[in-house]
Amino acid sequence: MTAEKQPISIPRRRGRPPADPAAQAATAQEARNAICSAALTLFQAGGVDAVNMRDIGKQLGTSPMMAYRYFPSKDHLLMELRIRAFSRFTQSLARWRRRARNPRDALGLVCGAYMVFAYANPHDYRLMFDMWAFESPETMKAEFGEKVRRQSASWLEIQAAIRDYLGGDAGTGAGDLGEATDIVWGSLHGMCSLHLARKLVFGRSLRQLARPTIAAILAGVSARTT
């Protein structure tokens, strides 16, 4: 095995499988992680169409059928990649919200963390938000429910930051708070999507527009309470 394949090598069992269920679970998780790493490499190189079980097997030096032991289909593997990307995204938003020295700072920090994540992790961001056609949409909907369309934890982090920012003014009703969250989310997503699509014009960049975008969002949230 070459050095470049070592980080994503598949653990191989010799003889009987370990009797300890915890050890078996750990081995299976290592295999899933390795498959996901290989799939992400393929996605980064060629998008969703480049992800297939045969090439994953080639990367890992295993049978093309090995990945099916852990993921019943390509759809399941893509969903796992999407869920993991959303998890990393949510953790980043939560980490920056916790760093706020006072509640009023939380929203600006979370907005900044959102744009930094998209800028630094374009492949993760595309996995999260670019739509692709599942080979079996009904199966995925039955197994994953709302996760097929969205992940709510990151949205809730933005909502919590808005609540922190507004303080006593946040009690305008759950509907109003949810609407404000959608507007903030849409504003950030729109800017990041334009950046990733290279549609920002007149030489402007996401880095140049980050501060004025955050300032406009904060002003807009404040204005909704007056």
Q: 42 versus 11: which is more confidently predicted?
A: 42
Q: Identify the pLDDT of residue 191.
A: 97
Phi and psi at 203, nearest 5°, equal: 75, 5
Confidence of residue 59 (pLDDT cuts 50, 70, 90): very high
Confidence of residue 104 (pLDDT cuts 50, 70, 90): very high
Averaged over 83-109, what is the pLDDT? 95
Cα end-to-end span (Å), the chain: 64
CB of 218 closer than 8 Å to CB of 180: no
Q: Identify the pLDDT of residue 176.
A: 86
Work out the percent of the chain whose per-residue pLDDT is above 70. 82
What's the pLDDT tens digit per position in 131-166?
A: 777 788 888 888 887 776 667 899 999 999 999 999
Distance of CA 121 to CAs 2, 36, 147, Å?
Answer: 27, 16, 21
Q: Identify the pLDDT of residue 140.
A: 81
> Using CA atoms, how far apart are residues 185 and 183, in angstroms rounded to an integer?
5
Q: Identify the pLDDT of residue 2.
A: 46
Ramachandran category for residue 127: left, alpha or beta (phi over 0 → left; psi -120 to 50 → alpha): alpha
> Using CA atoms, how far apart are residues 26 and 140, in angstroms rounded to an integer?
26
Confidence of residue 3 (pLDDT cuts 50, 70, 90): very low
The answer to pTM > 0.85 is no
> Using CA atoms, how far apart are residues 153 and 87, in angstroms rounded to an integer?
8
Residue 214: is its pLDDT beyond 90? yes
What's the pLDDT tens digit per position in 63-81?
A: 989 999 999 999 999 999 9
Averaged over 161-173, what is the pLDDT? 76
Long-range CB contacts for residues 100-105, cutoff 8 Å, separation at least 24: 100/164, 103/164, 103/165, 103/167, 104/164, 104/165, 104/167
For residue 90, give the nearest of 148, 152, 147 by alpha carbon: 152
Structure tokens at 142: 């039955």
Give 110's contacts (C-beta < 8 A, 6+ positions apart): 93, 96, 97, 157, 158, 161
Mean per-residue pLDDT of the chain: 86
Domains of the chain (ranges; CATH) run: 9-71 (1.10.10), 82-226 (1.10.357.10)
Confidence of residue 220 (pLDDT cuts 50, 70, 90): very high
CB of 51 closer than 8 Å to CB of 42: yes
Q: How many degrees, rounded to 5, is the angle at CA 118 between CA 72 and CA 135?
A: 25
| Amino acid letter for position 52 | N
